[in-house]
Structure 1
């Protein structure tokens, strides 16, 4: 009887023999992943900025983080001097969209590999390294999610598949150029369960519900339908995000077991009963303040619209619209502008109330759903708006990094810590002192690789923030 270790001995002998004779099929050693040392920057740890620090990257991951001088620099490592800079984790947009927009138009025809790849690259250039596309995703989404997340060229893509809305309800297919509507619109609880099961089978990361009548203009998803969808999603191990506008719908969804409210309450001040229910059930709240502000602010032309950081994010066709005096006048004189201003004011007040009460706050903007919700820039504007609601810059940053990673169930990102994905944004100034310093981007590292060029805008001219 042969000893149990005999195969190992025979294999070892064969390898030694091949090595001696130079066998063509001898296994070659696996190359070690590249090691990069980011030296001297201050680092945001989720609470405050400390340093100067040393951050060691090994391949796609962060290998070590420590005070400058406390870590041994590996031999042969590439060393990058970031003295005077500040490093934050890559931003995580927990409520965005991809493939809906091109220039000033929306439509399903823009949901292409090329357009989405370009949009995800633009997000990264603005320091947004993870994007959650919350609904309106046709079948191409599932293959793109698997394919694109394996590369460092653009933001990682997660999402809710098509989502679930009421028949003839929100989102309005015709108004958004979605005539070949992919949104599931079940008419019975059983059909809602079947829709959720299909999304889970194809690889959705969560389930999106639209519970909004757009001011009574369209049918609203009924409680029996969304309760069945929520229950089935939880059976499938998926979290449920809900698009809401009104307080009464938000309350009913929290009672039904929803996990995330994907927009802020904008029709009434939140009351104590709602606040306590949110806290007791651990429901997340994403205000998306920029969503309504974008309906009027560009017609007002604030000074930051002339800054390169903003202009680099804007499609040329959209910029021409913003510069048109007739469009500016008509936008500001129409009823929509005043309605949007009131929504922003109430959204800020409700976010302040919920944050002060200890409700869990996530980060999102609805960027990419409509032309004026500008991917990349919208996220930095949202951070500023969150501080206007009473969050400190550090609290807003934590919501956009560590907390949104938790909200999405992503345990491998959201902080500058050993073992996590090396998605990092290097800033020229400390954002905890002034949140607008997130716009002073010096460099972006995506999965341990420095982003070296900006995406091409549709007119083919490369621009830099």
Structure 2
């Protein structure tokens, strides 16, 4: 048996054993860490986790799981392990630096984003709409482990409305990245085209952005889209903001509310609709938070954990005192603060009601940076009233369940060996999830401490 005393040695040595997609010829054992399984079980101290061929071969206490005699052993005493996080709501290829453009939807840039998510411990993401045709080759390569970075699922283009959401002023995507049907027949055809490409989900935008947009998708259009999606065995995620729109979406058959309800307190009839549909709720607390947090608390972006992954143009903007003051004082920022508070309250109401809660931050758009936004989402969920363990369970096994993935999100035998090694116990303090020591994906170490991360 060969033992390495620190994780960085594992990364230096074990990364030489093969590239993504290649078979692993011998076992690797992660030994001694406190293990959080992602399923809500109590943290397991002094654990043993055996990895073979990209999957977890065995896991348990040091007294229950034998260590293979020829295994490479990584000593993780004093550290913690959690499953790789899973985002149910992100976007790729939309914003680069401070510029949103259809030109950003290209393989090289998207792979750089996926590497960043992975380095921050998010090993699977869902690009929830606004995807160009390149998405499908990327998805195939990432599913097969032929490309580096977080694995990816997605919702093809999605359905919006002309002159309405998604607003071109915020997301100026190309014509092959969004459908804007104006009749039920056109909506059905759009869904059939997406189904033909084997999309994972269908996305519909139902929002006028606080009456800033003149129109919303018509009820007969989104109802037809939902019906056609269900005929094709596809679930539908709705972008919503208001309680009224959430109710309308649920009555039409929505399977997922892809944002939190932020204008009013959620009421019992809406909860009953969610239970009837077995609908999931992805609060995306970080969405409104990102509209003011960097101005209200400049120390957030100055934190090396955040600053390391910021584009130079973004750093310049966030560090500008004039920009900070302008954003802090803006009426839109005050609306965002109130929306976040309402969203956090509704999250707790739904969690206590037993509604399925997904995990996502709408990262990849605006100032919601890949990986960083997911960590901020965890912080905000705990701030709302969840325990660290509850938030971590949502971000791992809960997020996997939303996507109907049974091969990841938990650290159990037979599951993918996607995991994050931390320098401290996140069950004691959610801030400890930021103390990344290493990320393992597909059974191999792919990233070390954030201080070693370099944008590409």
Q: Given the two structures, how large is their TM-score scaled by the length of structure 2?
A: 0.91
Alignment match of 2:435 (pick from 434, 440, 461):
440
Out of 31, 34, 43, the residue aligned to residue 42 of structure 1 is 34
> What is the CA RMSD across the aligned residues, in angstroms?
1.6
Answer whether contact 1:94 1:404 (CA < 8 A) is retained.
yes
Aligned to 2:310: 314
The residue number in structure 2 matching 1:18 is none
Residue in 1 that maps onto 2:230: 234
Paired residues, what number? 428
Shift of 1:179: 5.3
Which residue of structure 2 lines up, in the alignment, with residue 130 of structure 1?
124
- Superimposed CA distance per residue, residues 263-315 of structure 1 (whole angstroms, 9 cap, x where no aligned partner): 00111111111122212321100110110111111012343432211111211
Distance 1:32 1:304 in 2: 40
CA contact 2:85–2:123 (8 Å) conserved in 1: yes
**Equivalent-residue separation in structure 1 for 2:307 and 2:346 (angstroms):** 31
1:356-371 aligned at under 5 Å gives the runs 356-370=352-366
2:172 aligns with 177
Residue 83 of structure 2 corresponds to: 89
Higher mean C-alpha displacement, 177-186 vs 131-140: 177-186
- 1:112-127 alignment, distance < 5 Å: 112-127=106-121
Residue pair 1:361, 1:399 contacting (<8 A) in 2 also: yes
Alignment correspondent of 2:55: 61
Residues 1:223 and 2:215 are matched in the alignment: no
Paired with 1:62 and 1:367, the residues of 2 have a C-alpha distance of: 29
Change (3 A) 1:172 1:31: closer
Relative to structure 1, is the Cα distance of residues 32 and 293 closer, same or farther in structure 2, using a 3 angstrom cutoff?
closer
Segment of structure 1 superposing worse, 175-184 or 54-63:
175-184
| 1:84-143 CA-partner distances (Å, limit 9, x unpaired) | 111100000100011111111111110111100000000010000001000110111111
Cα separation, 1, equivalents of 2:27 and 2:169: 51
Query: Out of 155, 162, 168, which is 1:160 matched to?
Result: 155
Q: Is the 8 A contact 1:108 1:180 kept in 2?
A: no
SS at match of 2:428: coil
- Give me the whole-angstrom Cα distance separating, in 2, the residues matched to 1:239 and 1:31: 34
TM-score by length of 1: 0.89
Structure 1 residue 456 displacement after superposition: 3.6
Equivalent residues of 2:298, 2:318 under 8 A apart: no
Asked whether the 8 Å contact 1:193–1:228 carries over to 2, the reply is yes
What's 2:99 paired with?
Answer: 105
Residue 334 and residue 77 in structure 1: after superposition, are their counterparts in 2 closer, same or farther (change >3 A)?
A: same
Could you report, residue by residue, the CA deviation over 1:179-233 in whole angstroms, capped at 9, with x for unpaired residues? 5462111111111111111111112110000000112223101111111111111
Q: Runs of 5+ in structure 1 lacking a partner?
A: 1-29, 459-465
Verify the 8 A CA contact 2:284 2:360 in the aligned structure 1.
yes
CA offset at residue 177 of structure 1? 2.6
Greater Rg over alpha carbons, structure: 1
The superposition leaves residues 151-180 of structure 1 with CA deviations (integer Å, 9 ceiling, x where unpaired) of: 262000110011001122100124423254
* Residues 1:408 and 2:403 aligned together: yes
Q: Secondary structure at the match of 2:89?
A: strand
